[in-house]
Amino acid sequence: MPKTLPLNIDRINTPIGELLLVADETGNLRAVDWADYEARMLILLQRHYGKGGFHLQPAHNPHGLREPLERYFAGDVAAIDDLPVQTAGTPFQRMVWSELRRIPTGASVSYGQLAEQIARPKAVRAVGLANGSNPVGIVVPCHRVIGANGSLTGYGGGLHRKRWLLDHEAKNAAL
């Protein structure tokens, strides 16, 4: 029988709701999502690691990962820039997620701009789907992707959170 991946889960109170932090035994973030979307997070984890391919165990501040996220929400928005992330996903998804981490804090890009940045200008829809499948929100900042006309478009945690995150980063990026 294949070995299941042990994952630690922590719950963090933030100004915009309870955040779930999932890390592996070596200290890599595997998922970050909102508690009110925990069912979706579990589905994403199953897609990445297979049904029964992982098990969650409660942990407090696994590998010190909680502290940078708390600092981020307190205004030190650069605190999460170098957090280690390990995701499954397709090579295309991982390419999009890697590019998301290159969007400067306090900035935003459109789906079309993101597609151009990965040298796939016609893959706007695929970029959007990869963005929506990102298991490590906030740290892999999918909230920084907006519509071509500058409008807020879908965010897995709700548009009110996307607006808050963008405003929070814009206000604190220069500090």
Backbone angles phi, psi at 7, to 5 degrees: -125, 140
End-to-end CA distance of the chain: 51
Q: How far is it, in rounded angstroms, from Cα 20 to Cα 55?
A: 15
Active site residue 118: no
Q: How far is it, in rounded angstroms, from Cα 16 to Cα 97?
A: 23
**Structure-block tokens of residue 148:** 């071509």
Name the catalytic one among 142, 145, 146, 165: 142
Length of the chain: 175
Exposure letters 77-92 (e unless 16+ CB within 10 A, then b): bebbeebebebbbeee
* Residues taking part in catalysis: 142
